[in-house]
Amino acid sequence: MHDFRADIHCHSTCSDGSDEPLALLRKAKDASLQGLSITDHDSAAAYTPELFGLAEELNLRILTGVEISSELEGIPVHILAYGFDLASLSFAEFLREIRERRTERNSAILKKLAENKMPLSEEDFSGLKTKTIGRPHIAALMVKKGYVGSIQNAFERYLKDGATCYAPGFKYTPEEVIRRIRLGGGKAVLAHPHFYKKKAYVKKILSCPFDGIECYYAALPKQLELPWVKLAKERGWIVTGGSDFHGAFKNNPLGSSWVGEETFNALLQ
């Protein structure tokens, strides 16, 4: 048995993961984790009394989490919020507003796909249980319709940030999202910084007042993670890590990155 480990970045059926929240808890237990944060996109719907009940039964510690979509210069910037107050009405309302933006942005993506002879209808989405629909759902339907060979292919050719069928539309800047997370009693952590390619752009994001940064991510090689650990230490930011597990929508195994007890507790406060 290893020391305390908590995977604090994963997605459930409340957004674009393929496991129900309760099933995720069981998977976390099977993966020998002692703590978990379910960080669905723009939704805290996973945090039900049933979830906390099962966590207690399984002796699994829970940290509230959500991955919020902000936007800078038309490119999405994901910010993880941890330890916020589930009873904060203003924070819940903020998330609801972002989900509304998401719906509008999805419509713009679907319009572009239709213009490129890859129409998807309301009916195609009717089987989905989640209210927080995202690009992975759209990509999966494109595969089902035979437009592309795989989800990865759908992203590479059409859906990735800036691609021909991508559409912006998330209204809030990273700074505003950070401010709202704090008002909701939470801590703001920049998610997967490794994926931003342009230096000047990264510099702009890093000028925002984060509390922490996700240095350890899925199964990335250590040499890609360590520069971010160094940066975090220089700035006094909390070093976090998580798998970004999405079940069938992505190949990242649950528990492939994690945080220890000290970090988990720091985010909980």
# residues near Zn ion by CB under 5 A: 1
Question: Measured over all CA atoms, what is the biggest interatomic distance in the chain, rounded to whole angstroms?
Answer: 54
Least separation in angstroms between residue 155's CB and ligand AMP is 4
Considering only residues 195 through 234, tell me which ones interact with Fe ion, judged by CB under 5 A. none
The site map against ligand AMP for 189-228 (x = CB under 6 A) is ----------------------------------------
DSSP readout, 108-155?
A: HHHHHHHHTT----HHHHTT---SS--HHHHHHHHHHTTSSSSHHHHI
Q: Which of 16, 40, 71, 214 binds Zn ion (CB under 5 A)?
A: 16
Residue 142, both tokens? 């494109």
Q: Is 9 in the site for ligand AMP (CB under 6 A)?
A: no
- Is residue 144 within 8 Å of 125, Cβ to Cβ? no
Q: Which of 16, 19, 40, 244 binds Fe ion (CB under 5 A)?
A: 244
Residue 103, both tokens? 């719906």
- Is residue 110 within 8 Å of 169, Cβ to Cβ? no
Q: Is 169 in the site for ligand AMP (CB under 6 A)?
A: no
Residue 25, both tokens? 């808890």
Q: Is 214 in the site for Zn ion (CB under 5 A)?
A: no
What's the sign of the alpha-carbon dihedral 248, 251, 253, 256?
Answer: negative
- Is residue 211 within 8 Å of 238, Cβ to Cβ? yes
Q: Which of 27, 78, 135, 180 binds Fe ion (CB under 5 A)?
A: 78
Q: Which of 5, 9, 27, 135 binds ligand AMP (CB under 6 A)?
A: 135
Q: Which of 35, 134, 212, 241 binds ligand AMP (CB under 6 A)?
A: 134
Which residues, including other chains, have CB under 8 Å from residue 93's CB and lie 6 or more apart? none
Place of tokens 């528990």: 255
Least separation in angstroms between residue 57's CB and Fe ion is 26
# residues near ligand AMP by CB under 6 A: 12
| Residues of the shown chain interacting with ligand AMP in the complex, contacts defined by CB under 6 A | 16, 41, 69, 76, 134-136, 152, 155, 160, 246, 250
| Residues of the shown chain interacting with Fe ion in the complex, contacts defined by CB under 5 A | 67, 78, 191, 244
| Residues of the shown chain interacting with Zn ion in the complex, contacts defined by CB under 5 A | 16
